[in-house]
Structure 1
């Protein structure tokens, strides 16, 4: 037959006509002659592959509906200095291609196929916050159903911008955003939706990253605002991802050692101030705390002012104040034992009120050895009590005492000096106790305030 078509061209013409003829529901039915138990002939989908550069719609006034979801499989790094979140996720896209349709009963019962993604039209969905170049592998495949439903899973390593607040480090929670949208198609050409509920995405992601890394997933929420760029309106889906840091490492390496050093510094107040061992001990603790901060500096955020840095500065300040208090008490004791000045009457009255508030004590200093109404053994800070009551002269001493009156005046002067020493030593111990209580009060209130802020 001279005017007939060659057999191969006739088959291709029939295949093309079968693809272009409209079928049920404005779809195009694929000829199942290329389907068998050994595979699928690529020629059966050649017409679909040829339409790859164009959006797969019969009527271009109808937008393509693309369902977007993702699975967060790993949180790789959180950079507080650069305000970046590096994560690994699987982006799941699903849409309909009306040019793909076949009857499973006529096509050896085949309901689903895998086709190389490079042969299909793919929606240009991207993450707005992403700062890295898309490095998606080029040899991915897509699932295609007999009704033209295409499902495409795309693995992505995403480094995205995230507004990080490290004030509550290491008990901080961060909220980052993944915004999925198209950079080419407006709402007239593409609409975004979801084929999964948000709780399904959250549960799947939490199961995947439950035991991985420093961070744990708290929850995911979504919003669907439109994005206006100039005169163009784009559809988008925003996912709000809440993550929380696991603080165990920082509690063990930072907070516990610091708490031990502060506790030891507080207990050092029980060392006797007269022994001279308290000041060297506190200086050693202060140097050790500075060495500890230098060694643990790598665990702290390199930018911002987290609350834990305020806590460390507060602990260091408490240790410095404790050392200054010890220096002050040591100075008072040295002044009392060398050249004690006369104690003012108001200070003497205050000392009497603090030492014996429930007893009937004199309100003004007496002359001689009767300054305090306390026995000699009750005055702290004295190694050998001095006898303040004069001894009665013996028979052999009467003549000497009568002939040397200046000796009695000297003994009275020494007794008055010893009495002033006792008063200033007692005042030093009272100030030491008072400052120790103030130190404990300030330390407890400051630490409780920091812990309260962390709990919020």
Structure 2
């Protein structure tokens, strides 16, 4: 509730004001210029104004005080995604009218503007609703007063304000933080807020004078006027929307590029021969290196939420795991083909022949095995070819073994088994090619999807 002075006390203040202020025409007051000289201004001329600094400076209390505000954002120091805070530096400009401070410049030595310590004047209680720290504004600031009673009060502020951050598009994210200026005590019947400058001018000045060249860039500032209702009271508000954008270069170089290189190397490892014993260890080494990379780069990622880049890293890790599983599967097929190849179904045999060479007709061969089935590769892992013995001079013991019935039966079994081995080896290579193409298709689709989401 508002404290009202008794009529008797209010009447005692009037002689005091009239003793130092001479009444002008109508509802204006003019300061006596006897306190103005070439050496400065006599403080006694403003003593009546200083004595009533606790009261809103109006002649008619039914008329609200118009307070115009603007600011210049000089730096964006930090944006904390975990605490949802933005730290910035502002130069706040507040302008209002005091009808008790007026003088005639022609009668007062041509003085049109003076500076007065802000502690001696009534100051509007303008605050920022999103403010989350103690106001550390320096004391002993000055205010400029002109001969018409217009007061201009500027103060620097370090503003730690709460900001609802959306980190889904990190590191290509744009944030929209709000700075809501309002009066803490005075309702719309007492204080009305207005703009001292156009919001476009505030935005352009801030973009030109901003000193911070760090992680964040100021895109623009927008403004909206509204009234906040608390119970039966209404308060004037001016909401400024500060649009900022993150500079993604650091994260692109340190996160996206190394991750892309590792995935590309993993894709190129499919060109290693499937029979080689180095493909699986190579992929395991890449997978281990990628996990170490994620652990080292974890400090650069936001601590809260699930940004799209985390989905991208999980996708890359999944692709590398699938690649390793594909290599294990192909290695198992090759091992099975060269040791104990099972009978191949007729439909799989036909499909394999069609896939391998659709323009060539291979004779249909039963699973018992005929010598004319499929091409025979030059080198097959785990298979000892009889041609290895060509050119060697057989000893008496070896000749006896070769000419024995058991050796001839073994050679016939090996000759019957060889085409089936060739078919399974060919099927393994076909599956390796097919899975590699599916891997590339899925990887390209996933990367393009992530890029599209980042651009939107």
Q: With structure 2 as the length reference, what TM-score do the two structures score? A: 0.89
Match of 1:441 in 2: 441
Match of 1:282 in 2: 283
| Pair 1:406–1:279, CA change in 2 (3 A) | closer
Match of 1:141 in 2: 142
Match of 2:99 in 1: 98
Q: Is this contact kept in 2: 1:18–1:30, CA < 8 A? A: no
Indicate the SS of the match to 2:23: coil
Q: Return 5+ residue gaps in structure 1 as ranges.
A: 1-12, 388-399
| Pair 1:75–1:355, CA change in 2 (3 A) | same
2-structure distance, mates of 1:351, 1:304: 49
1-structure distance, mates of 2:446, 2:236: 50
2-structure distance, mates of 1:297, 1:262: 18
1-structure distance, mates of 2:404, 2:129: 104
Return the offset for 1:60. Answer: 0.4
Match of 2:153 in 1: 152
2-structure distance, mates of 1:124, 1:14: 29
2-structure distance, mates of 1:90, 1:159: 14
Return the offset for 1:21. Answer: 3.4
Aligned CA-pair RMSD: 2.2
Whether 2:319 is the aligned partner of 1:318: answer: yes
Indicate the SS of the match to 2:133: coil
Return the offset for 1:337. Answer: 1.1
Match of 1:35 in 2: 36
Return the offset for 1:23. Answer: 1.7
Return the offset for 1:361. Answer: 3.2
Whether 2:450 is the aligned partner of 1:420: answer: no
| Pair 1:386–1:153, CA change in 2 (3 A) | farther
Return the offset for 1:104. Answer: 1.2
Indicate the SS of the match to 1:275: coil
Match of 1:334 in 2: 335
| Pair 1:20–1:31, CA change in 2 (3 A) | closer
| Pair 1:404–1:131, CA change in 2 (3 A) | closer
Match of 1:250 in 2: 251
Indicate the SS of the match to 2:88: strand
Whether 2:450 is the aligned partner of 1:431: answer: no
Return the offset for 1:382. Answer: 8.9
Return the offset for 1:281. Answer: 0.7
Return the offset for 1:19. Answer: 4.3
Q: Deviations over 1:18-68 (max 9, x none)?
A: 644332462211112222222111111111111101000000000000001
| Pair 1:247–1:299, CA change in 2 (3 A) | same
Q: With structure 1 as the length reference, what TM-score do the two structures score? A: 0.89
Indicate the SS of the match to 1:428: helix
Return the offset for 1:197. Answer: 0.4
| Pair 1:83–1:211, CA change in 2 (3 A) | closer
